[in-house]
């Protein structure tokens, strides 16, 4: 089994944590004191899940596209030198 790349794990973990904290804090601030404890926990979990999946998809796609770009650029020969062209003709 392959180890997960830190280029994927770290941003997804930070986004999950931030999403959960922000969701819970926004719910807690919008309610009366000690009135929405269960709701703030629930919204925090849902926000964390949304951030996990959203950021996870974007980061995985970005890492894959960068890897594909590097693989293609390693395979190709350097570009031929450009010829100087004269003025356009009809």
Average pLDDT over residues 21-28: 94
**What's the pLDDT at 77?**
63
d(CA 76, CA 74): 6
**What's the pLDDT at 85?**
74
pTM, whole model, 2 decimals?
0.73
Q: What is the pLDDT of residues 25-83, one digit of tens each?
A: 999 999 888 888 999 999 999 999 999 999 999 999 999 999 998 888 888 766 666 77
Q: Which residue has the higher pLDDT, 5 or 78?
A: 5
**What's the pLDDT at 87?**
75
**What's the pLDDT at 80?**
65
């Amino acid at each position: 089994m392959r180890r997960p790349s830190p280029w994927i794990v770290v941003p997804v973990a930070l986004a999950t944590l931030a999403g959960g904290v922000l969701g819970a804090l926004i719910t807690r601030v919008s309610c009366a004191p000690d009135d929405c404890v269960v709701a703030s926990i629930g919204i925090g979990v849902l926000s964390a899940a949304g951030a996990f999946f959203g950021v996870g998809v974007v980061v995985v796609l970005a890492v894959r596209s960068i890897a594909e770009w590097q693989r293609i650029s390693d395979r190709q020969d350097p570009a031929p030198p450009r010829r100087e062209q004269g003025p356009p003709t009809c």
